[in-house]
Amino acid sequence: MAASPSPTPTPANVLEVRDIHTDIGQFHILDGVSVDVPEGSITVLLGRNGAGKTTTLKSIIGLTPPRSGAVALRGREIQGEPAYRIAARGIGYVPEHRAIFRALSVEENLRIAERKPGDLSRRGDFIFGIFPDLKRLIKLPGGNLSGGQQQMLAVARALVPENGLLLIDEPSEGLAPVIIEQMMEAIRQLSAHTTVLLVEQNFIMASQLADRYTIIETGRSVKSGRMADLVKDEETITRYLGAA
Amino acid sequence: MTALWKNNRGLLIITAIVVVLMAGLLQSLEPKVWMSIMLSGATLAALYFLVASGLSLIFGLMDVLNFAHGVLFVLGAYVGLSTFMNPRLLFNTLPFFFVLVAAITVAQHFGRIFWRRIGTERGRRVATAALLLLAAAVLFLALRGFPIRALNAFNITAVGGAVTTAEAQEPMATMLRRVTMVLLAGLPIGLLLAPKQTKDELPLRPVWQTLLIAGVAVVIGYALLLVRDPGETFMLAMSTDVRFVLAIILGTVAGALAGVGIETALIRPFYGNPVTQLVLTLGLSIAGIDLIEAIWGEEGNPPMSPPSLFAANCRSDSLLGWFSEHCQSIDVLGRAFPTYRLFIIVVGILVFIAVGVLLRRTRIGMIIRAGVQDSEMVQALGINVRRVFTFVFALGSALAAMGGVIAAPYLGVFPAMGGIFQLQAFIAVVIGGMGSYVGAAVGTIILGLARAFGDHFVAAGINVPFLDTVIKGSPAIARASTVLIMAIVLLVKPAGIFGKKE
Amino acid sequence: MESTASLPTKSVARQRLGEWWPYLLVLAFLVLFPAIAALTIGDSTAAQPGAGFFEQLVQRAESGYAKFWQGMVIQMLILGIFAMSYDLLLGYTGILSFGHAMFFGTGGYAIAILIGRNFNWPFGLALIAVVVIALVQSLVFGVLSLRVKGVYLAMVTLAFAEMFFILAEAGDFRAYTGADDGLHGFPVPAYLSATDHRTRFYYLALIFFVAVFLMTKRLVDSPTGRVMIASRDNENRAMMIGFNTFWFKLIAFVAAGVFAALAGALFALYNVSVTPSVLSVGRTIDALAMTIIGGVGTLVGPVLGAAIIQLLGYWLERWFGANWTLVYGIIFMLIVIFLPYGIVGTLRARSFRLREGWRRWRKLGDRD
């Protein structure tokens, strides 16, 4: 509780994470993470495996509520609320490992994300515009899709309600290069409509997509700024991300 | 074709095995004997299914192994029995529940204010203990000396013989005092159940809704008490069919309410700690059966007489004949089979279809199926999955209680019946795969048939090949042998036929 | 560990004593208990005048309340063995078994049948046979049930135990098991009769109890025990380090099975009867309750839990009559809710604070 007092939020940022600390069981995973996500941007969280990137996303959405610190969505503090209420404030979450519902059909996977009846039919054209494959697969069980298709479905699911912010965890993980290209294109398209906070190990993909970055190292955010600057900064890249 | 094979391999293999086994048995048995064994097996399977399906859904969605499920089965059976045979018990006890619900609803609503006043964790703990004591004390005073045994003694087989209603019931003034005291006892209980932290998950109901629920409950409670004499006469004058339907409805509702109560009080505070939840349901399974014994007595009741639709003393030639004659048995390939057992099979199938449709065709069903795989992700989509948990717990409990009611005319009603069915349901669910709805159905069918054929062969004796001996046994052997089936399935597929988790 | 570094002068023996003195204290009390009981609550008229002091002591211990309370403690010790064996499974290896009664009951039935009229085996041989039977039984069912994990295992073991229960109740083996009546009055050797020589039986139970306690403690403190605990805390990690956790779980399962069978055999000998109830789920629930009330994974806790449940059962039955299990169930649930780590577990969590207080108190003494 002695941590920094919650700041006065800047309205330009959709999301502000201020010095959050998160424990999972007896382990301290996050030890002071701060992230700013400006409106309309793609911000990427970088860092080595196990640095706490995924936990940061989970702490924002409320699946692992932070012990201290603040998470503000458009200036309103949301930390400590149950996950379903945070999500309903307009945050779409795409977890790692493509956590789609395997027993549900593609259509049901999308329909379950509706917050108001009719969300899917209203936004269908937009979604299938970005992921045309899904329209063809609509009746198949989610478990029968290929890895890339599952990942697309997971992103598409987050687009069904009008979310002002998407949290996307490792969209390129385990995908073939061709599919990664498609995925990048899709994220670029949807970022025209919504703000994105991305976790990405693939630095090339991250550097091509993102406007801003935050580096997390052993549970702390150590550096953030504009992606354009980071690309030139060889030293930081080697130091925190290993040989890129 | 390959996809079909891939997706349903378990089901196809099992179907093949069962078909081959059944065909083999058909060879060695007369068709009419075979048919009646099949039907007996189906009867058992239907009852097992009612218990197992809820167990499996509850486990699949919230990882809770509900050891108190058998208690709900017994509860349903006793509530059904009382509705059917002894309505005076309901009129004299239901008011307690209604006023209790009313008081709890109100106190829970305004409990937030109470807990907010107490700042410290220590203070909250002291207050919790004090409220528990207060509630227990008031409840004790309210119910001390309540003539539950006399109210229960409705037939001559009950120990001590039948007691007339006039003798069994307490005077109205005493009852009014008792009901009002229970109403008071509900207030501290409601406070205990109120959310203690400010950021707790329970969304606040509008005040008018709370007051409406409480008001209706209080009015119903007192009204039931006031009309107890004409009410009893009225109910006993109804046809047994109507009364039986009423018994099913009340038994099921009782199960659902008990389910909601168990979930809110014992399960919800301990999500993420499955051993505690399991141990609590275990404790409840001890205390619950004892509570039922305290209310309804330890001695068992003989099978309830089936409703008149299945009671005429004759034997119909066909189903069509039964529609007009309402015979108690029906001719199946030249052998009589009780029609009431066919009714049990039909109920089992109907419930299977109804819950299946709920799971497949409704939004809540979709959420349940998704939650079985990953309830955290469902939360992250903006869905309050805890409310779905409560719903599923209530649904599972209701199904088990319904099973208890329809089992009553077939097996009788006795406190130990829950344990027997719970164990068989566990085995069925392990065979089918925990969390799988279809798996629960398949597991119960396998188990039901195995029991029926096992009973037959064990009683008739098995010719051991190459030896001239016939091994005979008691039904207990057949009962124990179902465990062997489970062991075999586990050796082949540790997660059960349809199991996916782990 | 740190004290070794900071106090090099302290001898190993003294350090051992420092660790073990609470156990030794309890042991001393248990050894002396019959004498204490004889002198305090024993029937003084039972002592024959003219007999020596020691003989008089035994005579008084074999009478009245002294005899009764020795019986109570004997049952606590037997249940304590049973509870410790359960804690080995649940507390140290993280195996939630609902079939532990299977071993307890089989132990009881095995000894009763073997020394009974069908076999007439000598007592010592029968006792060895009990151990062998338990070994085989726990190996077979351990291999079968350890294929699955978590609640699956709970249900599978429950079903196996229920199979034994049903078979014990079945009329088919009446000649051996006595069906639902059970076996009564089988020929327990006269020198071990708990009715005639209660004090002797008391010491027999105490020896078994201490032996099982030492073996279990040795096991959980050994490298094998470390792996058990590691597989409880994080099975995947233990496997990744390179341990095949299955074998370690099996060791725990077998050890627990044998100890439980010994408890069951003692139980049968003490009561000179076994009924199918020794195989029932209720038995397992008792073990679970003792373990949880005392504190999971503390070894001492379950023993304490056994004592509490034995006493609680006695008093509740006296106060509430037939409905005592209702009260018992409620108390059990309240303990689970309000003392989630059990009595010993909660005490250990707080012992830091207690030790702090003790140090301050000692400092006060120093100042005088």
Tell whether C16 and C135 lie within a shared domain: no
Task: Flag if B381 and A80 touch (Cβ within 8 Å).
Answer: no
User: Measuring CA to CA, which residue among A187, A185, A182 is closest to residue A199?
Assistant: A187
Task: Flag if B370 and A115 touch (Cβ within 8 Å).
Answer: no
Report d(CA A178, CA B85) in Å as an integer.
Answer: 72
Cβ atoms within 10 Å, residue B173: 8
Chain B / chain C CB contacts < 8 angstroms = 114
Given a cut of 60, whether residue C7 has pLDDT beyond it is no
Given a cut of 60, whether residue A6 has pLDDT beyond it is no
Looking at the domain assignment, is residue C4 inside a domain? Answer: no
Looking at the domain assignment, is residue C132 inside a domain? Answer: yes
Of B199, B373, B382, the CB nearest to A87: B382
| Radius of gyration of chain A from its Cα atoms, rounded to whole angstroms | 17
Report d(CA B407, CA B399) in Å as an integer.
Answer: 12
With tokens 């059909």, the residue in question is: A105
Per-residue pLDDT at B392? 94
Task: Flag if B199 and A80 touch (Cβ within 8 Å).
Answer: yes
| Residue B306, φ and ψ in degrees, nearest 5 | -65, 155
Helix (H, G, I), strand (E, B) or coil at A104: coil
**C120-166 residue pLDDT tens:** 899 999 999 999 999 999 999 999 899 888 878 888 898 899 899 98
Dihedral (Cα; B79, B85, B87, B89), 10-degree rounding: -60
Q: Is A97 on the interface with B (CB under 8 A)?
A: no
Average pLDDT for B201-207: 66
**A140-183 residue pLDDT tens:** 888 888 888 899 999 999 999 988 899 999 888 888 888 888 88
What's the one-letter identity of residue B454? G
Displacement of CA A201 from its chain's centroid (Å):
13
Per-residue pLDDT at B78? 94
**B12-63 residue pLDDT tens:** 777 788 788 777 777 777 888 888 889 999 999 999 999 999 999 999 888 8
Tell whether C269 and C327 lie within a shared domain: yes
H/E run at residue A35: strand A27-38
Per-residue pLDDT at B443? 92
ipTM above 0.90, yes or no: no
Q: Is C326 on the interface with B (CB under 8 A)?
A: yes
Given a cut of 80, whether residue B264 has pLDDT beyond it is yes
Q: Which residues contact C95 (CB under 8 A, 6 or more apart)?
A: C89, C146, C153, C249, C252, C253
Q: Compute the nearest-CA separation of B201 from chain A (Å).
A: 7
Per-residue pLDDT at B60? 87
In chain C, the number of structural domains is 2
Q: Is A111 on the interface with B (CB under 8 A)?
A: yes
Q: Which chains border C (3 or more CB–CB pairs < 8 Å)?
A: B
Of B7, B370, B379, the CB nearest to A84: B379
Instruction: Work out whether strand C183-184 and strand C273-274 pair parallel, antiparallel, or are unpaired.
Output: antiparallel
Looking at the domain assignment, is residue C1 inside a domain? Answer: no
Task: Flag if B473 and C170 touch (Cβ within 8 Å).
Answer: yes
Q: Angle, nearest 10°, between helix axes C150-169 and B417-432?
A: 130
- Residues A45, A197 contacting (CB under 8 angstroms): yes
Interface present between C and B (3 or more CB pairs within 8 Å): yes
Tell whether C19 and C154 lie within a shared domain: no
User: Measuring CA to CA, which residue among C213, C242, C215, C214 is closest to residue C227?
Assistant: C242
Mean pLDDT for chain B? 86
**What is the band of C109 on the pLDDT scale with cuts at 50, 70, 90?**
very high
What's the one-letter identity of residue A84? Y
Looking at the domain assignment, is residue C95 inside a domain? Answer: yes
Looking at the domain assignment, is residue C2 inside a domain? Answer: no
Q: Is B388 on the interface with A (CB under 8 A)?
A: no
Task: Flag if A63 and B380 touch (Cβ within 8 Å).
Answer: yes
Per-residue pLDDT at C365? 44
Per-residue pLDDT at B469? 66
Tell whether C110 and C23 lie within a shared domain: no
Looking at the domain assignment, is residue C67 inside a domain? Answer: no
- C320: closest chain B residue by CA: B294
Instruction: Work out whether strand A68-73 and strand A212-217 pair parallel, antiparallel, or are unpaired.
Output: unpaired
Task: Tell me the residue range of the domain where C37 lies.
Answer: 10-61
Q: Compute the nearest-CA separation of A216 from chain B (Å).
A: 23
**A27-82 residue pLDDT tens:** 788 888 999 998 888 999 988 888 888 899 999 999 988 988 899 988 888 888 88
Per-residue pLDDT at B204? 65
Given a cut of 60, whether residue C82 has pLDDT beyond it is yes
Report d(CA A202, CA A218) in Å as an integer.
Answer: 19
Tell whether C199 and C324 lie within a shared domain: yes
Helix (H, G, I), strand (E, B) or coil at C54: helix
Distances (CA, A) of C351 to B121, B402, C206, C345, C356: 20, 50, 28, 10, 8
**C294-334 residue pLDDT tens:** 988 889 999 999 999 999 989 988 888 777 888 888 888 88
Tell whether C114 and C218 lie within a shared domain: yes
Mean pLDDT for chain C? 85
Per-residue pLDDT at C3? 44
Report d(CA A15, CA A91) in Å as an integer.
Answer: 10
Q: Is A164 on the interface with B (CB under 8 A)?
A: no
Average pLDDT for A4-18: 65
Tell whether C16 and C158 lie within a shared domain: no
**What is the band of A5 on the pLDDT scale with cuts at 50, 70, 90?**
very low
Task: Flag if B434 and C156 touch (Cβ within 8 Å).
Answer: no
Given a cut of 60, whether residue B501 has pLDDT beyond it is no
Q: Can you give the CATH number for the domain in which C167 is found?
A: 1.10.3470
Average pLDDT for C102-115: 94
**B73-91 residue pLDDT tens:** 999 999 999 999 888 888 9
Per-residue pLDDT at B257? 92
**Position with higher pLDDT, B392 vs C172:** B392
Q: Which residues of B touch C149 (CB under 8 A)?
A: 502
Flag the least confident range among B22-31, B205-214, B442-451, C232-241: B22-31
Tell whether C164 and C83 lie within a shared domain: yes
- Residues C99, C157 contacting (CB under 8 angstroms): yes
Tell whether C155 and C15 lie within a shared domain: no
Q: Which residues of C touch B59 (CB under 8 A)?
A: 151
**A184-228 residue pLDDT tens:** 888 988 888 899 998 988 888 888 888 898 988 888 888 888 888
Best A112, A144, A168 member to test B by mutation, with max B CBs in 10 Å, is A112
Tell whether C115 and C56 lie within a shared domain: no
Task: Flag if A93 and B381 touch (Cβ within 8 Å).
Answer: yes
Tell whether C137 and C24 lie within a shared domain: no
- Residues B48, B125 contacting (CB under 8 angstroms): no
Per-residue pLDDT at C303? 94
Q: Which residues contact B126 (CB under 8 A, 6 or more apart)?
A: none
Looking at the domain assignment, is residue C314 inside a domain? Answer: yes
Q: Is B369 on the interface with A (CB under 8 A)?
A: yes
Task: Flag if C325 and B286 touch (Cβ within 8 Å).
Answer: yes
Looking at the domain assignment, is residue C215 inside a domain? Answer: yes
For every residue of B422-458, DSSP letters joined together read HHHHHHHHHHH-TT-HHHHHHHHHHHHHHHHHHHHHH
Tell whether C117 and C51 lie within a shared domain: no
Per-residue pLDDT at A224? 86
Per-residue pLDDT at C54? 81
